[in-house]
């Protein structure tokens, strides 16, 4: 029987170290931010599981006043913030909570109003702002505010996929966009045809390929792309023009 080379075991050990490091620093690290939540668990570990599960299966109220919310522990406020039956008045108070997971639940709650999302648009947590961008009730002014902030590249990708992406955001970004962001914009089915036309002239083949396949790309742009230097892009442009006849 052929012996397994020693280097195979070494490579396997290195792979395990890399995976363990990723889990610790990126997965556990994200949840470790919520120190108050963990201190709450440590304060009563024998009661935590049963009490929290029993709370979550109960119907929560639609409205809580400020005093009632203060009396709730963090995990309870997270459940209230996630419940789509929670009143906008209660969600507005929870939008100012110190816990990031409470605020993330408020930002993703379909019952959150545009005024509540405006409170969260300035939040320092990038995931809260990304959820605000995704929310159908987000105001254009708040979207512009987040687009101007440039605090995190992940915001670029989120806004680039937004159904509300428009010329104003494009003007803010057009001179400093990375290829992945341009690719996301070119894939956006709500992207204005004028922007797609400008993207059709970019050097990136991946970006131009997304433009030529976008259903929002104008006939004028497709005609221009029939002369593209990349054969596949030119062929797709010709085929789409033929289908539109």
The pLDDT tens digits of the residues spanning 196-235 come to 999 999 999 999 999 999 999 999 999 999 999 999 999 9
Question: How many Å apart are CA 29 and CA 55, to the nearest integer?
Answer: 27
- What per-residue confidence (pLDDT) applies to 154? 81
| pLDDT bucket at 40, cuts 50 / 70 / 90 | very low
pLDDT at 38: 45
pLDDT of residue 119: 96
Provide the percentage of residues in the chain whose pLDDT is more than 70.
78
Give CA–CA dist 202/103, Å, rounded: 39
pLDDT at 47 (0 to 100): 45
For 115, phi then psi, to 5°, come to -65, -40
User: Using an 8 Å Cβ cutoff, are 181 and 159 in contact?
Assistant: no
| CA gap 218, 241 in Å, rounded | 10
What is the model's pLDDT at position 151? 59
- For all residues of the chain together, what is the average pLDDT? 84
Q: For 55-112, how does the pLDDT look when each residue is reduced to its tens digit (9 = 90+)?
A: 453 557 788 888 888 889 999 999 999 999 999 999 999 999 999 999 999 999 999 9
Instruction: List CB contacts of 188: < 8 A, sequence separation 6 or more.
Output: 160, 161, 162, 163, 165, 214
Residue 3: predicted pLDDT: 59
Q: What is the mean pLDDT of residues 143-151?
A: 83
Domain ranges of the chain: 49-151, 164-245
- The token pair that represents 214 in the structure block: 């976008």
- Residue 39: what pLDDT? 47
Q: What is the 3-state secondary structure (H, E, C) of 152-200?
A: CHHHHHHHHCCCCCCHHHHHHHCCCCCHHHHHHHHHCCCCCHHHHHHHC
What pLDDT, on a 0 to 100 scale, did the predictor assign at position 160? Answer: 93
Please determine, for residue 177, whether its predicted confidence score (pLDDT) is greater than 90. Answer: no
Report, as an integer, the average pLDDT of 168-173.
91
C-alpha to C-alpha distance for 230 and 214, rounded to whole angstroms = 17
- Retrieve residue 143's tokens: 């979207």
Cα–Cα distances (Å) from 221 to 148, 194, 207, 212, 244, in that order, read: 29, 9, 14, 8, 13
pLDDT reported for residue 238: 97
pLDDT (tens digit per residue) in 2-22? 555 676 766 767 677 767 766
Where is 19: in which H helix or E strand?
helix 6-22
């Amino acid at each position: 029987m052929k012996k397994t080379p020693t280097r195979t075991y070494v490579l396997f050990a290195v792979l395990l170290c890399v995976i363990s490091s990723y889990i610790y620093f990126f997965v556990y690290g994200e949840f470790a931010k919520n120190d108050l939540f963990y201190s709450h668990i440590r304060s009563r570990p024998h009661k935590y599981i049963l009490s929290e599960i029993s709370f979550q299966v109960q119907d929560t109220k639609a409205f809580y006043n400020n005093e009632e919310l203060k009396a709730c522990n963090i995990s309870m406020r997270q459940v209230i913030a996630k419940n789509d039956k929670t009143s906008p008045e209660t969600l507005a108070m929870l939008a100012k909570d110190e816990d990031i997971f409470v605020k993330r639940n408020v930002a993703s709650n379909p019952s959150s109003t545009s005024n509540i999302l405006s409170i969260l648009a300035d939040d320092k947590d990038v995931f809260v702002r990304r959820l605000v961008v995704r929310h159908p009730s987000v105001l254009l002014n708040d979207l512009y505010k987040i687009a101007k902030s440039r605090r995190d590249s992940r915001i670029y990708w989120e806004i680039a996929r937004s159904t509300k992406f428009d010329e104003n955001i494009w003007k803010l970004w057009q001179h400093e966009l990375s290829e992945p962001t341009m690719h996301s914009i070119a894939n956006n089915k709500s992207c204005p045809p004028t922007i797609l036309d400008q993207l059709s002239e970019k050097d990136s083949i991946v970006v131009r390929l997304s433009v030529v396949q976008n259903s929002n790309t104008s006939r004028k742009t497709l005609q221009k792309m029939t002369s593209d230097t990349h054969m596949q892009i030119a062929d797709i442009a010709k085929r789409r023009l033929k289908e539109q006849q």
